A and B are shown apart, each in its own frame.
Chain A
């Protein structure tokens, strides 16, 4: 069955530090992969997506993600975190016109 695993429930980083959020997926075919961010009380905002082609994808707000088929992973990275990046981050895989989400990683940023 299709599924998404985000192993880290909660991550804390200092402002200016680098960030990597992990995502592993289970999917039989070439996956369509997404990262969304959700701020408190808000809906989900699309950060970036992978459909095909270059395995390193750039998104909004300085985020990037790398698709690694051999590891079934799609990790999200940012070289320098800002306090405004504190939020919940969700990885998702597209499956038959719907999205299957992971359980999310809550990012806390200390000044």
Chain B
């Protein structure tokens, strides 16, 4: 069990640029989640996948955000035309397939995005 990994760990970008983050879940986990954490707040749910299917998206996920999990393994989160309000820690988590186990989520170290 190598844990959930995320790349990059830090990203500094200028307003208006596009950024993409990657998450590699624990290999046997078929569920993958994205959360966003701003300073002084707890993580907030953005979206999640079961295998390749994106099953739910939060209203926080504006049209500038898109997430994919093309082969049911790693996932990418892209933010287009970044705004300063997008500055946050983006956390990825994965969990096992069973109904209760899906809630036992293992988190990666996060990608800290700073938009200047």
- Residue contact B103 to A32, C-beta cutoff 8 Å: yes
Q: Whole-angstrom distance between the alpha carbons of A36 and B35 in the complex?
A: 14
A51 touching B106, Cβ below 8 Å: no
| Other-chain residue from A43, A97, A104 in contact with B109 (beta carbon distance below 8 A) | A43
> With A43-B4, A43-B108, A44-B107 in contact, do A90 and B56 touch (Cβ < 8 Å)?
no
Interchain Cβ contacts within 8 Å, total number = 56
A60 to chain B, nearest CB (A): 13
Q: Which residue of B lies closest to A97 (CB)?
A: B102
Known A-B contacts A32-B100, A94-B103, A101-B42; A43 and B91 likewise in contact (beta carbons under 8 Å) = yes
- Tell which of B41, B55, B102, B104 touches A103, judged by Cβ atoms closer than 8 Å: B41
A90 contacts which chain B residues (CB < 8 A)?
42-43
In the complex, whether A46 has a CB less than 8 A from a CB of chain B is: yes
Once bound together, how far apart are the Cα atoms of A44 and B65, in whole Å?
23
Q: Which of B35, B41, B48 contacts A97 (CB 8 A)?
A: B48
Q: A100: which B residues are within 8 A, CB to CB?
A: 45
B110: interface (CB < 8 Å)? yes
CA of A49 to CA of B40, assembled, Å:
23
Number of interface residues of A (CB under 8 A): 24
Q: Please tell me if the beta carbons of A99 and B41 are within 8 angstroms of each other in the complex.
A: no
Q: Among the interface residues B35, B107, B108, which one has the most CB atoms of the partner chain A within 10 A? A: B107
Assess whether B100 is in contact with A51, with CB atoms less than 8 Å apart: yes
Q: A99-B45, A101-B43 are in contact. Are A43 and B103 (CB under 8 A)?
A: no
- For residue A30, give the distance in angstroms from its CB to the closest CB of chain B: 12
Chain B positions near chain A (C-beta within 8 angstroms): 4, 31, 33, 35, 40-45, 48, 55-56, 91, 93, 100, 102-110
5 closest residue pairs by CB, A with B: A101-B42, A94-B103, A43-B107, A44-B107, A98-B45
